[in-house]
Amino acid sequence: MSSKKSNNSDKEEEQALKEAEIVAELAPNEKTRKEAEKLIETVERQSNTFAQDSSEIFDTYKKGVLKITEELSKFQPQYAQSISKLQEEYLQLTKQFVDKVFAAQRNWVGGNVTSANTTFPSWTYTPYAEQFRRQSNEITAQALSVFNTSNQLALNALTAARENMKLYGKAIDAIIEYNNNVANAWSSFFTSAQRQQYFRQ
């Protein structure tokens, strides 16, 4: 895209210089011709200096921004890996906690621990054991269904966000191209108006 802009501005400069050279050749007197030639030299010098300075400034900024972006992109995989490890450790700890809690309850209840006023009945003879198992299985299935649905929604939202970023990039490209076209049009208009004003004097 920048080469396209550069080519357009180069063509406009060449066109302006050609017009000035034509005016210098067709000038009615020696004084006007010398002024036109001086103008051509000044425009060429200023144009080359300005283009070089602008190019260096923009290149410096571009390199700085790209360097910062590159450094930031180096950290992203580390963050993702650290978060993933944290999640794995959390899930592993949760599994261990659940195993230990239920093992302790099983030992406590299975031993028919008797206190002063409490005796825990054996679970195998409880009339509600089958109903408890069925309800527990239903709750687990529903919870898994909710988790699956919410995970799918989250994945869909991330996919949509990624697509929106692509659209945002395309919109930025279009805006930049439009702004460049407007700037080139104004520059061309202003340059030609300036030339006309100069040669009318």
Say what the pLDDT of residue 1 is. Answer: 47
C-alpha 7/C-alpha 34 separation (Å) is 29
Q: Which residue ranges make up each domain of the chain?
A: 130-201
Say what the pLDDT of residue 184 is. Answer: 87
pLDDT tens string, the chain, 201 residues long: the values are: 445 555 566 666 666 666 666 655 555 566 666 666 676 666 666 666 665 666 777 788 888 888 888 888 888 888 888 889 999 999 999 999 999 988 887 777 666 555 555 555 555 556 677 788 888 899 999 999 999 999 999 999 999 999 999 999 999 999 999 999 998 888 888 777 666 665 555
Output the 3-class SS for the chain: CHHHHHHHHHHHHHHHHHHHHHHHHHCCCHHHHHHHHHHHHHHHHHHHHHHHHHHHHHHHHHHHHHHHHHHHHHHHHHHHHHHHHHHHHHHHHHHHHHHHHHHHHHHHHHCCCECCCCECCCHHHCCCHHHHHHHHHHHHHHHHHHHHHHHHHHHHHHHHHHHHHHHHHHHHHHHHHHHHHHHHHHHHHHHHHHHHHHHHC
C-alpha 5/C-alpha 179 separation (Å) is 11
Say what the pLDDT of residue 74 is. Answer: 85
